[in-house]
Amino acid sequence: MNRPKTYHITTFGCQMNEHDSETIAGMLSQMGFSESPGRDEADVAIINTCSVRENADKRFFGTLGQLKKKKLADPEFTVCVCGCMMQQQHVIDSIKSKYPWVDIIFGTHNIHQFPQLLESVLREKEKVVNVWEDGGDIVEGLPAKRLYKHKAFVNIMYGCNNFCTYCIVPYTRGRERSRRPQDILDEVKRLVSDGVREVTLLGQNVNSYKGDEHTDFADLIYRLNEVSGLERIRFMTSHPKDLSDKLIQAYGDCDKLCNYIHLPVQSGSSRVLARMNRKYTREDYLNLIAKLKKTVPQITISTDIIVGFPGETEEDFEETLDLVRKVEYDSAFTFLYSIRRGTPAEKYEDQIPEDVKHQRFNRLVETVNSISAEKNAGYVGRVEKVLVEGLSKTSDRTYTGRTEEFKLINFAGTPDMVGKIIDVKVTEGKTFSLEGEVI
């Protein structure tokens, strides 16, 4: 078969999508393709989309538009689109009518079929739309071309049952399905034997993981903590309603579980949380934080916050600011609420004017950043264990890595340090990172 030789993947969205792209890259490598440095030089371009934020939607259509010229000049150039947006019929309809030159559309549930779809398109020269409505059985054993040699993402569950009223994910990723614990353990052991020292367990709602009747998420952490050669365990993303006392205790008991948690709060107002269908109150959340800090005093905490959810009053927003000050987050991903088509909140009539949203957003960012800077300044003089990731993007002599508490730290290093855990003394705390020197 006379098939193209190079590919390029553009990924939007979260770490689940990043990991799906690693799987797509792994399958293409097995087919004999190699990675191209840019879309323009590639024989096959894949765009892996995200539907969570309006901004990612817009960027996807902008990126797709840029491929038109090359596709029209070179019909052999193959354009594939996949990911969460493809699970929405109105998106597929729009691509078919406005971008009819797209060759393959596939969804989040049938990534494993991509090699067959690509081969069929290359052979038959016919376009393919193949999107499964739900996931069926989890397909094990797919290859992955990892971004890093020493750390890896491991999907432990797929989908979400929570139906937060602003979120499209339960409609695009389907209901929760957990992998078997033994399959996860086997994968982690294989990764460790391949040089991986840190794994991040992935899922839309990892802490509702239910592997079998004896294995919930905390049990899985305890079992992974026994894997010889593995040094760090992280997870992403967790839901406050599923943060059990048992999982909090695992932080105290499991030395490989990093002292860091990303615990999305979304709002500091119980009234807004109820309208978001988050299933916890402000008080529940603050109780969880108190328990975490009691069990692991050095824990670092990050969160997601949505500003301007429909009906959010100035008092509700003040409660969010107050909660941010009380928790003292190390960092926070802050978002302006945007309507997602097909979600319950799309129908809420009390949408917040854009100027009010922006004004609140700026106040929130200011508060979050000043706490982050203050907390990072408190690290000066401490010696941190840092897993070295590689060169920083801004310099060819500055290396970058993560502390156990997930702080990004920059320091002068050497290539042989990459993938190792080394001691770095913190010399400066900035808003978003630390500076240090190797000792």
Tell me how far, at minimum, the Cβ of 53 lies from ligand SF4, in Å.
12
Q: Closer CB to ligand SF4, residue 118 or residue 169?
A: 169
**Which residue number, 204 or 334, has a Cβ lying nearer to ligand SF4?**
204
273 is written with which tokens?
């949380």
> Cβ closer to ligand SF4: 240 or 436?
240
82 labelled ligand-binding: no
Q: How many CA atoms lie within 13 A of 136 on its CB side?
A: 10
> Cα dihedral angle (111, 195, 418, 226), rounded to 10 degrees?
100
**Minimum CB distance to ligand SF4 smaller for 234 or for 239:** 239
| Amino acid found at 237 | T
Sole window of 116-124, 160-168, 340-348, 390-398 interacting with ligand SF4 (rule: CB under 6 A): 160-168
β-partners of residue 384 are 424
Say whether residue 163 binds ligand SF4 (CB under 6 A).
yes
**Smallest gap, in angstroms, from Cβ of residue 346 to ligand SF4?**
14
**Between 164 and 261, CB nearer to ligand SF4:** 164
Examine residue 167 and tell whether it contacts ligand SF4 (CB under 6 A): yes
CA angle 268, 273, 274 (to 5 degrees): 145
Binding to ligand SF4 by CB under 6 A, coded x per residue (else -) over 121-150, reads: ------------------------------
Task: State yes or no: residue 160 binds ligand SF4 (CB under 6 A).
Answer: yes
Helices (H), 254-401: 270-275, 282-295, 314-327, 354-377
Contact range with ligand SF4 by CB under 6 A, out of 9-17, 23-31, 159-167, 215-223 = 159-167
| Integer-rounded Cα radius of gyration of the chain | 22
Which residue type does 190 have? R
- Binding to ligand SF4 by residue 164, rule CB under 6 A? yes
Q: How many residues bind ligand SF4 (CB under 6 A)?
A: 10
Q: How far apart are CA 260 and CA 298, in angstroms?
A: 9
SS (H, E, C) 23-80: HHHHHHHHCCCEECCCCCCCCEEEEEECCCCHHHHHHHHHHHHHCHHHHHHCCCCEEE
Q: Is 81 exposed, middle or buried (CB count within 10 Å of its CB: 0-12, 13-18, 19+)?
A: buried
Query: 258: annotated binding-site residue?
Result: no
Shortest CB 114 distance to ligand SF4, Å? 24
Q: Please report, for residues 15, 202, 331, the alpha-carbon distance to residue 234 in angstroms, rounded to integers and kept in the order given.
A: 13, 9, 16
Cβ-based nearer residue to ligand SF4, 108 or 162: 162
| CB of residue 58 to ligand SF4, shortest distance in Å | 20
C-beta of 162: minimal distance to ligand SF4 in Å?
4
Please tell me whether residue 162 binds ligand SF4 under the rule CB under 6 A: yes
Please state the φ and ψ torsions of residue 400, each to the nearest 5 degrees.
-135, 150
160 is in an annotated binding site: yes
Which one, 341 or 382, has the nearer CB to ligand SF4? 341
Tokens of 394: 């801004």
Among 239, 340, 357, 375, binds ligand SF4 (CB under 6 A): 239
Q: Which of residues 175-204 bind ligand SF4 (CB under 6 A)?
A: 204
Ligand-binding annotation for 50, yes or no, is: yes
Cα–Cα–Cα angle for 368, 371, 377, rounded to 5 degrees: 140
Cβ of residue 52: shortest distance to ligand SF4, in angstroms? 8
Question: How is residue 404 annotated by DSSP?
Answer: T
For residues 307 and 35, give the distance between their C-alpha atoms in angstroms, rounded to a whole number: 39
Judged by CB under 6 A, the stretch of 99-107, 164-172, 243-251, 295-303 that binds ligand SF4 is 164-172
> Toward ligand SF4, which CB reaches closer, 163 or 432?
163
328 Cβ neighbours under 8 A, 6+ residues apart: 301, 371, 375
Report the residue number, 160 or 261, with the smaller CB distance to ligand SF4.
160
Residues at the contact surface with ligand SF4, assessed by CB under 6 A: 160, 162-164, 167, 169-170, 204-205, 239
Residues flagged as binding site: 14, 50, 84, 160, 164, 167
Residues flagged as binding site for [4Fe-4S] cluster: 14, 50, 84, 160, 164, 167
